[in-house]
Chain A
């Protein structure tokens, strides 16, 4: 990553001349669609993997297949304060190192179960308000935000709201004394 950034800086310094073959860092280009975030293509891929660990595919589709990572980035880009965008971005940037330190190997080398453990541990972090734990605060914020938006993006997706739990614009007449025992629905297995 450092090499790539250095190369890009070089490219900028040299007036953006195409001295470097574009394929060399194209996968890490900053994605222009999210103008308030400095998110690279590989970071988006990582975010997709994290969201798909939070809600994996099974009998029903998982987060990645429903393009939840795009939704997450749209929401962070459009609906957050710049301070929170910074916190999210630095958490995302710090995540690969966090994975390596915590799990002992690179994130993409982890099993599905190890990824789950790692993300759950990051969600449950309780960092102190000290400069040393600044990174952990960013990790915790990033993962909790990603979890919340994954859940929202998943449940409010066209797939869930048309095929699995159909949404109706017309909820039907009010029943002010509905027996809970009669409102039970058949179990859906994810």
Chain B
């Protein structure tokens, strides 16, 4: 490949390079911008500007040719991304198609990708629950993975920092398992959800709870968000289209425009990072090699500090592809753990039921969140024959609608135009979010013989469930069924949808943090042990997974690490 370094090297030199513009990369760029660090923000996908590049955001249902459904041809060509619940006619353009980056499934793995400025922050479920020390202390207490080099006190101020800017709605629930944060008013639980929460409190002596899930939505106006050009959430529930109000947090609506406004940050879309340049004499990284997504030509950019925020899997891939005589097995990979101890969240099980109470009530309007059951299993001590536990989603809703089996003709027409008021019982449902245990045998690696459309090695996946996961599924089904029964719910049914790992879109690990360079890649400041001017603060850095939706933690990590990098550079 031609190496056309025609532009002056100085023009291609910055103080910091951030690889990836999703939730974590956007935060690194924003902090660097605020701190006066000249930064290059690289994104492999196209540019997506807030509002301007949300083509479907204000479309009405009848303006979609297929009323939201994707053509069969698209589904046939994209068997993997088609499995994602959010992939539809209104959001298709924010997902990377399967052919963009083929990969090898030694074991089945659904890899869902968002390749554009903002990454998957345009598409995420916006659930932001803090970790507690019950989570950070998990591996050390239960003897798996390695001990996290940080604790809650290290990250708590950064959670606050991120929450205040991103906008997080939630209630002060006072739970030690799910610390409270800097919240805007929380969203209301409905009458049946409140009933369930109350019954749990009564039945389980304060050990089990159901709360309004904290979400990255602006519930109520606030000066800080006006300064970002964002307004409060309108309960549209069309978030996957991009929000014209900036009602939920995305890099596009929040951190990236803020970073660009600082004048210190340069955004460069269509830039696929090939590898990180390691200078053996200096003993540090000096820049990155970038493939232009259109011309496929390679160019180098240089900086004092490199942040790798390419999303968990690609951050692994970039380090693996960054080889030198000092690091023949990937940058910073003295321990040999790069790509290993890869984990995810187990979303396989659901429990559903009915509730015959509050028959005179229903709900109206919209809300962007629902209920959340914080982890209650094995929290303070080991209770079961499996390690760790699970959180649960929870919601209650009332049916109603038109009678679809009415006789054709005027009967059917009048039925459709006059939906029946809800007459059946409330429906209640929960889904599990289980911690999986990182293991050496769950790994991702590169196949350097098979190249992708950019000439980069393809990834191969060897990730699967284990016995611990199977036991946890049964326990979740049993416990939540019992909780439903105690609340008076009936017609309780459990399900295991046997989904493939990856569809949770919570892939984590491979570049884990740890105290010991012999068994981990990163130190407690997210620096590669062996190359301290390279930081990884996205899902790749996760030592363990716990049960919370992880994005908030990546954002806090990125902000904290950016400040660390700046304080290190001041030390000279």
Q: Which residues of A contact B (CB under 8 A)?
A: 53-56, 58, 60, 62, 74-75, 78-81, 116, 119-120, 123, 147, 151-158, 160-161, 164-165, 167, 169-181, 183-185, 187-190
Give the shortest distance, in Å, between B195 (CB) and chain A (any CB).
10
CB-CB contacts below 8 Å: B357-390 with A:
358, 360-367
Give the shortest distance, in Å, between B187 (CB) and chain A (any CB).
7
B residues contacting the other copy or chain, number (CB 8 A): 46
When the two chains form their complex, are residues A156 and B62 in contact, meaning their CB atoms are under 8 A apart? yes
Q: Is the interface of B mostly helix, strand, loop or mixed?
A: loop
CB-CB contacts below 8 Å: B62-121 with A:
62, 65-67, 69-73
Report the Cα distance A60→B364, complex, angstroms.
27
Report the Cα distance A156→B417, complex, angstroms.
12
Give the shortest distance, in Å, between B169 (CB) and chain A (any CB).
12
When the two chains form their complex, are residues B421 and A183 in contact, meaning their CB atoms are under 8 A apart? yes
Across-interface contacts of A62 in B (CB, < 8 A): 413
| 9 A-B pairs (CB sep. < 8 Å) | A60-B413, A119-B408, A120-B408, A151-B412, A174-B190, A176-B190, A179-B361, A187-B418, A190-B413
Identify A123's interface contact among B71, B362, B408, CB under 8 A: B408
Across-interface contacts of A78 in B (CB, < 8 A): 65-66, 71-73
When the two chains form their complex, are residues A154 and B416 in contact, meaning their CB atoms are under 8 A apart? yes
Check B61 for interface membership: any CB of A closer than 8 A.
yes
Give the shortest distance, in Å, between A176 (CB) and chain B (any CB).
3
Besides A78-B71, A173-B367, A179-B361, 18 other CB < 8 A contacts? A54-B412, A55-B412, A56-B410, A56-B413, A156-B67, A164-B417, A170-B236, A171-B235, A172-B235, A173-B235, A176-B363, A178-B361, A178-B363, A180-B361, A180-B362, A185-B418, A187-B418, A190-B410
When the two chains form their complex, are residues A170 and B234 in contact, meaning their CB atoms are under 8 A apart? yes
Report the Cα distance A175→B193, complex, angstroms.
12
Identify B236's interface contact among A151, A169, A184, CB under 8 A: A169
When the two chains form their complex, are residues B360 and A147 in contact, meaning their CB atoms are under 8 A apart? no
Give the shortest distance, in Å, between A81 (CB) and chain B (any CB).
6
Give the shortest distance, in Å, between B426 (CB) and chain A (any CB).
11
Report the Cα distance A179→B60, complex, angstroms.
28
When the two chains form their complex, are residues A177 and B191 in contact, meaning their CB atoms are under 8 A apart? yes
Across-interface contacts of B416 in A (CB, < 8 A): 55, 151, 154-155, 190
When the two chains form their complex, are residues A161 and B61 in contact, meaning their CB atoms are under 8 A apart? yes
Contact A183 B362, CB 8 Å, known A78-B72, A116-B408, A177-B190 = yes
Binary contact readout B378-420 vs A (1 if CB under 8 angstroms, 0 otherwise) = 0000000000000000000000000010011110111011100
Binary contact readout B208-249 vs A (1 if CB under 8 angstroms, 0 otherwise) = 000000000000000000000000001111100000000000
Give the residue name and chain of the B residue nearest to A187 (CB): B418
When the two chains form their complex, are residues A174 and B187 in contact, meaning their CB atoms are under 8 A apart? yes
Across-interface contacts of A58 in B (CB, < 8 A): 410, 413
Give the residue name and chain of the B residue nearest to A119 (CB): B408
Give the shortest distance, in Å, between B183 (CB) and chain A (any CB).
17
When the two chains form their complex, are residues B414 and A189 in contact, meaning their CB atoms are under 8 A apart? yes
When the two chains form their complex, are residues A171 and B65 in contact, meaning their CB atoms are under 8 A apart? no
Check B536 for interface membership: any CB of A closer than 8 A.
no
Contact A174 B408, CB 8 Å, known A79-B66, A156-B62, A188-B417 = no
Give the shortest distance, in Å, between A124 (CB) and chain B (any CB).
10
When the two chains form their complex, are residues A169 and B58 in contact, meaning their CB atoms are under 8 A apart? yes
CB-CB contacts below 8 Å: B3-55 with A:
none
Check B189 for interface membership: any CB of A closer than 8 A.
yes
When the two chains form their complex, are residues B62 and A54 in contact, meaning their CB atoms are under 8 A apart? no
Give the residue name and chain of the A residue nearest to B192 (CB): A176
Across-interface contacts of B410 in A (CB, < 8 A): 56, 58, 190
Report the Cα distance A178→B417, complex, angstroms.
21
Give the shortest distance, in Å, between A143 (CB) and chain B (any CB).
9
Give the residue name and chain of the B residue nearest to A185 (CB): B418
Across-interface contacts of A155 in B (CB, < 8 A): 416
When the two chains form their complex, are residues B189 and A176 in contact, meaning their CB atoms are under 8 A apart? yes
Question: A156, A161, A177, A178: which has the most chain B beta carbons within 10 Å?
Answer: A177
Across-interface contacts of A75 in B (CB, < 8 A): 66-67, 69
Question: B69, B358, B408: which has the most chain A beta carbons within 10 Å?
Answer: B408
Give the shortest distance, in Å, between B14 (CB) and chain A (any CB).
41
When the two chains form their complex, are residues B408 and A54 in contact, meaning their CB atoms are under 8 A apart? yes
When the two chains form their complex, are residues A180 and B422 in contact, meaning their CB atoms are under 8 A apart? yes
Report the Cα distance A171→B233, complex, angstroms.
11
Across-interface contacts of A55 in B (CB, < 8 A): 408, 412-413, 416
Across-interface contacts of A178 in B (CB, < 8 A): 361-364
Question: A62, A78, A147, A181: which has the most chain B beta carbons within 10 Å?
Answer: A78
Give the residue name and chain of the A residue nearest to B358 (CB): A177
Contact A116 B71, CB 8 Å, known A60-B417, A161-B61, A178-B363 = no
Question: B67, B187, B191: which has the most chain A beta carbons within 10 Å?
Answer: B67
Give the shortest distance, in Å, between A99 (CB) and chain B (any CB).
15
Give the shortest distance, in Å, between A50 (CB) and chain B (any CB).
9
Check B194 for interface membership: any CB of A closer than 8 A.
yes
Report the Cα distance A56→B407, complex, angstroms.
12
Across-interface contacts of B413 in A (CB, < 8 A): 55-56, 58, 60, 62, 190
Report the Cα distance A81→B75, complex, angstroms.
10
Check B334 for interface membership: any CB of A closer than 8 A.
no
When the two chains form their complex, are residues B362 and A174 in contact, meaning their CB atoms are under 8 A apart? no
Across-interface contacts of A175 in B (CB, < 8 A): 188, 363-365
Report the Cα distance A119→B412, complex, angstroms.
13
Report the Cα distance A141→B410, complex, angstroms.
22
Question: B58, B190, B413, B414: which has the most chain A beta carbons within 10 Å?
Answer: B413
Across-interface contacts of A180 in B (CB, < 8 A): 360-362, 421-422
Contact A172 B236, CB 8 Å, known A167-B60, A184-B421, A189-B414 = no
Across-interface contacts of B421 in A (CB, < 8 A): 180, 183-184
Across-interface contacts of B67 in A (CB, < 8 A): 75, 152-153, 156
When the two chains form their complex, are residues B414 and A190 in contact, meaning their CB atoms are under 8 A apart? yes
When the two chains form their complex, are residues B72 and A172 in contact, meaning their CB atoms are under 8 A apart? no
Give the shortest distance, in Å, between A151 (CB) and chain B (any CB).
6
Identify B70's interface contact among A79, A156, A169, CB under 8 A: A79
Give the residue name and chain of the A residue nearest to B68 (CB): A156
Binary contact readout B532-547 vs A (1 if CB under 8 angstroms, 0 otherwise) = 0000000000000000
Report the Cα distance A81→B76, complex, angstroms.
9
Give the shortest distance, in Å, between A173 (CB) and chain B (any CB).
5
Question: A53, A147, A169: which has the most chain B beta carbons within 10 Å?
Answer: A169
When the two chains form their complex, are residues B236 and A176 in contact, meaning their CB atoms are under 8 A apart? no
Identify B62's interface contact among A119, A158, A176, CB under 8 A: A158
Across-interface contacts of B66 in A (CB, < 8 A): 74-75, 78-79
Across-interface contacts of A188 in B (CB, < 8 A): 414, 417-418
Give the shortest distance, in Å, between B164 (CB) and chain A (any CB).
24
